[in-house]
Amino acid sequence: MSLYRWFQRSVERVPEATALEVDGEVVTYRRLHELVERLAGQLCQVVGHPPAAVGLLAARSLPAYAGYLAALRAGAVVTPLNPAFPPARNAQLCRGAGVEVMVADDAGDALAAEVSAAAGTSLVRLGGDRAAMLAPTAPAPMPVIGADDVAYALFTSGSTGRPKGVPIRHRNVDAYLAYCLDRYPVGPGDRLSQTFDLTFDPSVFDMFVAWGGGATLVVPAPDEVLTPVRFVNDRRITHWFSVPSVVSLARRMRMLTPGAMPGLRYSLFAGEQLTLEQAHAWATAAPGSVLDNLYGPTELTVTCTAYRLPAEPDDWPVTSNGTVPIGAVHPDLDAVLLAEDGTDGDDGELCVQGAQCFAGYLDPADDTDRFVRYAGRRYYRTGDRVRREHGALVHHGRLDDQVKLRGYRIELGEVEMVLRGHPGVQDAVVLALGAGDATCLEAVYTGTGGVATELTRLCADRLPGYMVPARIHHVTALPTNANGKTDRRRIAALVGGEGAETRGALR
């Protein structure tokens, strides 16, 4: 079944149920469907034919969600962009995905013309009074969508210095949604949070588990995200999904008091390691909630493993690193833990194959070393070290230089490539230092001293805010180990003992 069909079924079954609450608007399935039909027609009219790919320079607005659905209705590949990203970054993503027309709302309007011109796309503006969304147009042709057609394309950080495009096909996301709607039953009256940006693939769960079940997607305003307990209670959330760092935020605000969220039924966390301490704090505040820890890279369609904590904390597992297990892979997937010698064991790199696994990156050159054959089958290499403990998988970090920061994947090599692009920089190393919520990026470079401010500005012009180093240090030479390779451990110690040229990253 196509991704759009999950929404369309609920339009047919429960047209008067509330599909979306966003920015003060309450939208039924019938009304959202009408807006989507008009907008899909506009997209086809602007380019003169059904577009191959649609860029979405919009966030947390009715145009953003209507635009997402309209692109699918037109048979296009949805490519979410982020108004907070530099224009050059968004234009690069559009070119990589082959975007023909871009939709912009108020949040993206200031950048829209610049991004559209740089990427060579047409532009549909949907800000202001929504008049453009309500304008009558010829209906979009009904597309013929195959299971192997691409539903959406997201971009992850790339070690080569450019982002990698991850195309997710309708068959991938169909298998994922079927699993999720079985595990997390939803229906009219249920209310799902939408804490993730559309460029972050857990947003696909938020939208299409809600719309696939006829439930309501509830989008918080920016200030509501900072007070999660109040948002859950005031907006009557039944299903919560976020990164674990939200738990730490709520704890610092002393909001996680016993029984603070009595109406919450499901609590899901993904994107970072969830500690047992965090889980206990949240479970105490939401004693009637089922608590699941999820894991999965974009290439495996949002999440591919799940672990449900027992109802009684006394029955919770004790893991070697104090984190909640990531559990087991979904039933339609198969996983092996490959050791360095290529054998499957109880400790190694998690490699996964099955219905949710993508076929390969938009640029086939990015497929190098990301797949491995084992027992005659092709597995995606996650790069994550996983160990079997007490019958469940436990995540033990990365096997490469990729890091997670507030749920976002960052290839440190991509940041290093940007720094090396400055004429005063000879070499650069970027490290993720600190632990938990205190983790931040720090950069060390050789070459001309005193250009840290320029380097921060360069990164801010090329990279999303979460990839801009918080501090930048100048050294005369990078330390090396006995093999002549850059010694990142010694650099980390050096950074800890020296001041930085600049502080206060652009976030």
pLDDT in tens, 257-266: 999 999 999 9
Range scoring the smallest mean pLDDT among 301-315, 366-380, 485-499: 485-499
Which pLDDT value is given to residue 500?
47
Tokens coding 294: 């999820």
Burial of 64 (0-12, 13-18, 19+ CB in 10 A): buried
For 293, the 3-state DSSP assignment is strand
Average pLDDT for residues 176-184, to the nearest whole number?
A: 97
Q: How confident is the model at residue 505 (pLDDT cuts 50, 70, 90)?
A: very low
Distances (CA, A) of 64 to 23, 57, 74, 107, 194: 11, 8, 15, 10, 13
Check whether 153 has a pLDDT greater than 80: yes
Instruction: Report whether 214 contacts 242 (CB < 8 A).
Output: no
Point out which residues pair with 169 in neighbouring strands.
Answer: 150
Q: Are strands 440-447 and 425-433 parallel, antiparallel or unpaired?
A: antiparallel
Which pLDDT value is given to residue 502?
41
Instruction: Report whether 43 contacts 71 (CB < 8 A).
Output: yes
Instruction: Report whether 231 contacts 225 (CB < 8 A).
Output: yes
Which pLDDT value is given to residue 276?
95
Tokens coding 213: 């079940």
Mean pLDDT (the chain) is 91
499 vs 340 pLDDT, higher one: 340
Check whether 213 has a pLDDT greater than 90: yes
What is the maximum alpha-carbon separation in the chain? 70
Q: Is the pTM of this model over 0.75?
A: yes
Average pLDDT for residues 90-110, to the nearest whole number?
A: 95
Average pLDDT for residues 273-287, to the nearest whole number?
A: 95
Structural domains in the chain?
Answer: 3-315 (3.40.50.12780), 407-497 (3.30.300.30)
Tokens coding 268: 């899901």
For 225, the 3-state DSSP assignment is helix
Instruction: Report whether 389 contacts 147 (CB < 8 A).
Output: no
Instruction: Report whether 415 contacts 469 (CB < 8 A).
Output: yes
Instruction: Report whether 413 contacts 392 (CB < 8 A).
Output: no
Tokens coding 378: 């092709």
Using one digit for the tens of pLDDT, what is the confidence trace for 348-389?
A: 999 999 999 999 999 999 998 899 999 999 999 999 999 999
Q: Are strands 305-308 and 333-338 parallel, antiparallel or unpaired?
A: unpaired
For 414, the 3-state DSSP assignment is helix
Which pLDDT value is given to residue 190?
98
